[in-house]
Structure 1
């Protein structure tokens, strides 16, 4: 076996790689943004490598990756399963693995091929060592980079593996290079996140906004509009002409007309499964998903930006989809719904890029 140095050329989808005593930690926010964050949940989410993968070309038949996983458990909630590593060979899912200290893929085809190892999207993963039984070289990058920001749905909650989150499904179908800045509970219009989007090279940018602002009960309508304008202004400072897509929330009955804050359904937790509920009361200026969609559509139309577009999230997952593929925990899509959302978004990505 050959020891392969873990370098930035082999790691895709991370904005920064931090070298620690234990190994290499992929980050989805740069150090400057992390220094300005005070929310431990965001600190956890950005270090979970959703959309991050090792990519290289090799004729190796055996690949070994040593890692160190940090798992998160919530009081009263059932323990989360081990993170999944997806192996893609020439763009197709070829194998999956879980392991406390890393993974081993053997009996691979002996021809020269593109390898992608997608890291678990829901647990912090430190890269320790990479070994193969043949030399490797960096794979060429895709022609277009898709930079996306969103919530836990974009990060991949309820998806069964990292290459089956809706963002990964869309990127793989469209043949674009994914940089996923979806942060569980933290699509909250943070200025440091906008600056990270501003400073990251991209050919297409999408921002999926609304659900976290509602379920965090973070602000009222008066603050939401200016905050969205400021977020988009910051992105435009670094990407004045890049196609920019604003995506409103998917259908979610608990918050369609009921404000946040959101909370666990504690009766469900007592029965051993996770479910969410809305606890807010309607009132002047309070935000619901219906209000958010209307406001985002108004903002995009008002800006008169020829490279700015709006996509109603109901076109990706609407009421009919909910009837067919319900939200298992009342908040996040099922694995099948992730595939449906990703397939629908893929066609919009391709059309958007052609335009």
Structure 2
């Protein structure tokens, strides 16, 4: 397993910068619970994620997630929304969905989403929801049917018949926006507006600040998205404070929720933005001359928490707003979705 035990640098950052910022109760709305064995691509050991989660976190249980949280956010009570890892190409969807549901069932206050692909029909999804108790859907752009996933529309990987079912049940949909312009793409903006208005009972979560790893994308989109009553955002792995500031001020901090993207969060490094691009920087993928400073890297999660804190400076978050950002908004969202799903399944 990966080495997630904090060193002296991590402990200093936590004590001096983060301990007073993170409330006692945390709801992590973006956690991947999976087994590397569910990646059934024949070239998986040389493919994407082999050197990261495949090597360091090949099996994520509820207990491992708890241990990571205890090490990185000591003294906090953690609840979470868990869902599978979307392995590109060939993925064992059935095993993934059964596994995450079983792990989340160990924690009374946590919940699971089922991973979906465009080929699933209503019967497939309903059967899995009944079998697992999941309260929402996790689509992903790598399963898009348009032939070019980086430029996929939402309905290329979450077809509208699945969205209609989510509306009927009141499901959460964890959406990782595609397209190179991310949420600022006019088609993404118009599609989110159309779908949220046509299907008002779907509870959309736009992951990674609506995939705004820097401020430019959400700055362009926020005015069109602000006020949509069934759209929320998570902060997972966004490490630039300007992006968080643009999100808080653009759509309202009351629509934003903490997410870790574990087991990405315990990796050391940072997602950096430049121009209209962003990339992951680690201690093994750069040739920077860092002899003038302490060159060690801390966790992605700490860089994200730093950005969440610094991005909120001009707002001056109250204690109530911090509690909502880290826990209360997600708790209310999950509880409402769970109640709606249970009512439907019981009918």
Structure (1/2) with the larger strand percentage:
1
Please give the range of the TM-score, normalised by the shorter of the 2 chains.
0.3 to 0.5
TM-score by length of structure 2 reads 0.36
User: Which has the greater radius of gyration?
Assistant: 1
